[in-house]
Amino acid sequence: MSQRADLDRQIAATHRRFVKAMDGRLDGMSAETKERYFAILSMLVGKLETAGKPLREIMQELMTEAMSLVLQEMQS
């Protein structure tokens, strides 16, 4: 198997682990935490759906836009 195919497989497996981990946490989250998590997740997905936008640019925008929500969560 090529290194690229192996890395793609590892990424897909990690995505599945992420979904499973977050599914396990949702019931224990407060409504406010869920709202902040959803806001960040929605921002990320929306940016990823923009065809042709480099991942580096997406991450830079996300860090800027999501930082206030992350700070709110850290302070709660």
For the chain, the first-to-last Cα distance in angstroms comes to 46
Longest dimension (CA), the chain: 46
Q: Tell me what pLDDT residue 7 has.
A: 95
Q: Is 46 exposed, middle or buried (0-12, 13-18, 19+ CB in 10 A)?
A: exposed
Indicate the number of domains in the chain.
Answer: 1
Q: Tell me what pLDDT residue 64 has.
A: 87
Write out the two tokens for 41. 């997740």
| Listed residue (59, 35, 39) closest to 47, CA to CA | 59
pLDDT at 67 over 90: no
SS3 content of the chain, % helix, strand, coil (to 5): 85, 0, 15
pLDDT at 8 over 90: yes
pLDDT-derived band at 20, boundaries 50, 70, 90: very high
